[in-house]
Homo-oligomer: A and B are copies of this chain.
C-alpha cells in the first residue's frame, strides 16, 4: 500500500504535526494543486503557511533552477560571494527596494524565519546597548530561544523548558476592546519612570498575526507605534516572514502605513520556490555588525538565490499588486457573506489581503470546517490560541476559477458543520 503512514509513525518523532491534520502522503505539486500517492488532487489554500505565495513549482523558477543545477552552479558557499547571490542582491534592490525608496542593507542569516528574527534582536540590542524587547500579544516569531521569548503562545513558550527573559508583552491593536487605544498603555509605561518597564532596544511585531489568529494592526496604529519608537530611540522591527512578499496586497505588509521600519525580517516566500531562505533588512545606519558576529552554514543557499531572483520578476509587472488586491476583495466579500449566511457559526471575518479567515465562537467549529474541506480536497489551516480561526491562504497568483472552487468547498463545509445540533458557544 503506497499511502501508508506507518513509516512516519515508526521512525519520525512525535513532534510531527501537520501530517496529523492532513493524513496522506503527498508526492507532486503544481501551482495551487497538490497530489498524493493515490493520485488524489488537492486545492492548496494553505501555501506552506505562506512559504508558497507563488504556488508550487512555478514554471519559470523551475526552469532557472534546473539550468543552474545542470550547469554545476555553486550550491553551497557559506557567505562567500557568488554570482547567484550577486544577481539576487541586484534584483532585490532594483525591483523592490529602490522603487519603494528603501536603502536597506541585506543580511543573510540562517535560512529560516526564526534565524532572521534572532539576528534582528541581536542587532537591536547591540546598537542601542539595551537589553529588553517589547513584543505583542499573540505575536509569533519562531521557536529558537531568542525568537520564542518574543512569541506569545503559552504552549510554545513552555516548550522552552526555561523561563524566557528580557522581553515584555504589550497589547496588540484592539487587544482589550475597540474603544481604548492599546498604545496608550505602551506610552504610559515608557514615560513613567516607575512603571517597571525599561526603555527597550526594540519592538517587534507582525502587521497581521498569521499564527496568532489573523489579528491586524491598523495603519494609524502602526504609524503611532513608529512615532513612539522614534521618540525613544527604539528599533521598530517588522517581522514580515508570513505577511510579507505580497501576502497582504503589497510587497511589504507595512507599506499602507507609510512607515520605514529599522529592520525587516523576511523568509518563507522570499525564496519564491519554497526553498529555505531568509533575509534581514537593515537600515544602513544600523548596520553595526562585526564580520561574522552572527553566522550560519546555510546562509548562502544559492538555489534559493536563483529562484528568489526569478520570483521578483512578478513584481516588475505594475499590475501584480492590483491583481492580489482584487482577489483579496473577493475573499473579503465571500467571508462577509458567509458570516451573514451562517449565523450558527457565530463568526466574524479577520485578517486582510490574501490572509483572511473566520473566527468562530462555536467550540471546534473551525477545526471541523477545515477537516471537512480536506476530505473534499482542500487544504486549509486553522489558527489562533484555540484554533478558532479557519484561514484562507491560497497562492497570491491563484486564478479566478480555482479561487471560486475553493470558496465552494469551504461554504459546503461550513454549511455541514452549521447543521450540527450540538453547537456550543465558547
Chain A residues 72 to 120 lying within 8 A of chain B, measured CB to CB, are: 72-83, 85-86, 89-90, 92-93, 105-115, 118-119
Chain A residues 222 to 274 lying within 8 A of chain B, measured CB to CB, are: 241, 267-268, 273-274
* Cα-based distance from A149 to B163 in the complex (angstroms): 14
Chain A's interface size range is 35 or more
Task: Fill in one digit per residue for A121-139: 1 if any B CB lies within 8 Å of its CB, else 0.
Answer: 1101110000110010111
Residues of B within 8 Å of A86, CB to CB, are: 7-8, 25
Contact at A296–B112, with CB atoms within 8 Å? yes
Chain A residues 1 to 32 lying within 8 A of chain B, measured CB to CB, are: 5, 7-8, 11-20, 22-30
Contact at A24–B274, with CB atoms within 8 Å? no
Residues of B within 8 Å of A288, CB to CB, are: 14
Once A194-B212, A276-B298 are accepted as A-B contacts, the answer to whether A163 and B161 lie under 8 Å apart by CB is no
Q: How distant is A109 from chain B, measured CB to nearest CB, in Å?
A: 8
**In the assembled complex, A322 has its CB within 8 A of some CB on chain B:** no
Q: How distant is A97 from chain B, measured CB to nearest CB, in Å?
A: 9
Contact at B169–A195, with CB atoms within 8 Å? yes
Chain A residues 287 to 307 lying within 8 A of chain B, measured CB to CB, are: 287-298, 301, 303
Residues of B within 8 Å of A156, CB to CB, are: 293
Contact at B289–A14, with CB atoms within 8 Å? yes
Point out which of A11, A193, A288, A298 has the most chain B C-beta atoms below 10 A from its C-beta.
A298
Contact at A13–B289, with CB atoms within 8 Å? yes
23 A-B contacts (beta carbon < 8 Å): A12-B106, A13-B108, A14-B105, A14-B288, A15-B292, A23-B81, A25-B83, A27-B74, A75-B274, A111-B112, A112-B112, A112-B115, A122-B160, A131-B161, A138-B195, A161-B201, A162-B165, A165-B165, A176-B184, A180-B180, A185-B185, A267-B297, A275-B276
